A and B are shown apart, each in its own frame.
Chain A
Amino acid sequence: MAVTLLQHPLGGTALDSVLAKIDLALDEIVARLTTPLDVAAANSAGDATRSEWIEMDVSDEWGSLQSEFVARGWSDGLLMAPPTAARVAAMVAGCGLPPEQVIGELAPRLGVATVERIATNAVMAGCRPEHMPVLIAAVQIMADPAFFLKNIQATTHPVTPLLIVSGPLAKTLNVNSGSGAFGPGPWSNGALGRAIRLLMLNIGGGRPGEIDKATLGHPGKYTYCIAENEAALPAGWPTLRAERGFAPEVSTVTMFGGEAPHNINDHESTTAGGMLTTITGSIAQIGQNSIECVAEMLLVLSPEHAATIAGDGFTKDDVRRAIYDDARVPMHRFAQKNIERRLWRLLPQRYRDRPLDTMVVMVQRPEDVIVVVAGGEGKHSMYLPGYGATRALTRPVLRPDGSPWN
């Protein structure tokens, strides 16, 4: 494919200036369409499944060696454990799979994620061997084309995969589902989420500022992992993994491409109606992707908020429906150019030629809302706007013989 580059930005600029850039580029566009292409030579450099072992001076483990990691582009800026043969072997042993086994290819580089390479990144992230089965399932998800990792890695939008562990394994691995689930602590959350980031960087090639074009990104791009607080689920509410078709004894990993968590504070409501008024009102904001395309949204209900809602007989589906029906903003709150260029153009059936008091939905369908209960005591829930070109996917965490890994 021949490429003509137009100078950034195009969005948010006057149309005349955009069209002037086209006129300036027209000669080049025509020339590129009529000039023979230089086809890239086939890449056949070595066996992509074989790990590369590099001789390095490890005498200054926390000094010059770290600089070497940075220079090679392997680092997220924090100290990393050196992936020695012994550490990598121990990490591989944590999942019981052969080191050369290919789990998937991670976009956009389509780097091959072998068990040994996943283990190497896990070592560098500070994981323990027992974390490996979760990482294997996470790589299976990220390698699934339906997850659209390529888009997540390259977009300007602040999206990154949140890893959600559901089931008995969360307790075994000490993945925090309670107080401060999104925050720091002596849990497995930090290392697991960081390993995901390093896998995206080192195998997928999502180097910040180069492939990763995030305008601002968000702190979850360092590490982003929680567990479902199953013990705090209201009676009758299904677990995340049950909603996704898995048996109670099967632990699962779900990955959701989302923004940073946004707080929903309600210390006063004692009814489902009151609580949902606060939740839908908090979600009704005009700057999110799901307004203009099909995009999922994750609602993380605190146990106390969930109990209040369920106490009035409301189900998770009722919550989804309330968000679809009531989390809306009148069109007149949107800037005129966004109405014309986004709402009218991308969703004409909903918004074209409609009056300005038309209510704009925050998700296109109720089923695009994922509801999870997590967190500890207190009256704060959170919602994570989605990105669009990704769907949350769930994989079971299984032993090599196919039995549940708990």
Chain B
Amino acid sequence: MKLCSPEGRAFPTKTLKVADRPRSLEGLRIGLLDNTKPPVDKIMQHLEQRLRERIPGAQPFYISKKIMNQPAGPEVMEMLRQKADVVINGLAD
């Protein structure tokens, strides 16, 4: 007998073009986005220091979301769009 599947599939997705990856981080502006879940602030500060030590001319900078559990707001996203060549973000806790 045929039974109806309860599973829902998603609508078809489109392939989005993503920005080309840099070959090196040398001289690049690296956004370090804090998701506000402790201790990511300490992690990002540590990463900032390590990237400066390791990558010649790298310009890592720190920025934080406003509210835990919610997407970064448009101000943060615009700042990253304008000031970062690549972004490192943290997920979960």
Let me know if A46 and B69 touch, CB within 8 A. Answer: no
A210 near B: Cβ within 8 Å?
no
Q: Whole-angstrom distance between the alpha carbons of A45 and B21 in the complex? A: 29
Chain B contact residue count (CB 8 A cutoff): 43
* Chain B residues closer than 8 Å to A106, beta-carbon distance: 8
Given the interface contacts A19-B43, A56-B1, A111-B10, does A11 sit within 8 Å of B38 by beta carbon?
Answer: yes
Q: Whole-angstrom distance between the alpha carbons of A41 and B50 in the complex? A: 35
Let me know if A22 and B50 touch, CB within 8 A. Answer: yes
Closest-CB distance, A99 to chain B (whole angstroms): 10
Return the CB mask of A378-406 against B: 1 if under 8 Å, else 0: 00000000011100000000000000000
Closest-CB distance, B17 to chain A (whole angstroms): 8
Closest-CB distance, A90 to chain B (whole angstroms): 12
* Chain B residues closer than 8 Å to A37, beta-carbon distance: 18, 21
Tell me the interface secondary structure of chain B in the complex. Answer: loop
A247 near B: Cβ within 8 Å?
no
Let me know if B4 and A51 touch, CB within 8 A. Answer: yes
Within the complex, which residue of A40, A74, A82, A388 is in contact with B7, where a contact is CB–CB below 8 Å? A74
Closest-CB distance, B61 to chain A (whole angstroms): 15
* Chain B residues closer than 8 Å to A53, beta-carbon distance: 2-5
Return the CB mask of B7-35 against A: 1 if under 8 Å, else 0: 11111111110101111110000100000
* Chain B residues closer than 8 Å to A114, beta-carbon distance: 8
* Chain A residues closer than 8 Å to B23, beta-carbon distance: 34
* Chain A residues closer than 8 Å to B67, beta-carbon distance: 293-294
Closest-CB distance, B73 to chain A (whole angstroms): 14
A55 near B: Cβ within 8 Å?
yes
Closest-CB distance, B44 to chain A (whole angstroms): 9
**Could you write out 19 A-B pairs with CB less than 8 Å apart?**
A10-B43, A18-B42, A33-B22, A33-B30, A39-B16, A40-B13, A42-B13, A51-B4, A52-B4, A52-B5, A53-B4, A55-B2, A74-B5, A84-B3, A109-B10, A202-B7, A293-B69, A294-B67, A389-B70
Residues of B within 8 A of A (CB): 1-16, 18, 20-25, 30, 36-39, 41-43, 46-47, 50, 54-55, 67-70, 86, 88, 93
Besides A88-B4, A124-B6, A346-B36, 10 new A-B residue pairs in contact (Cβ under 8 A), listed by A number: A11-B39, A18-B39, A22-B47, A42-B13, A54-B5, A56-B1, A84-B1, A112-B9, A202-B8, A292-B68
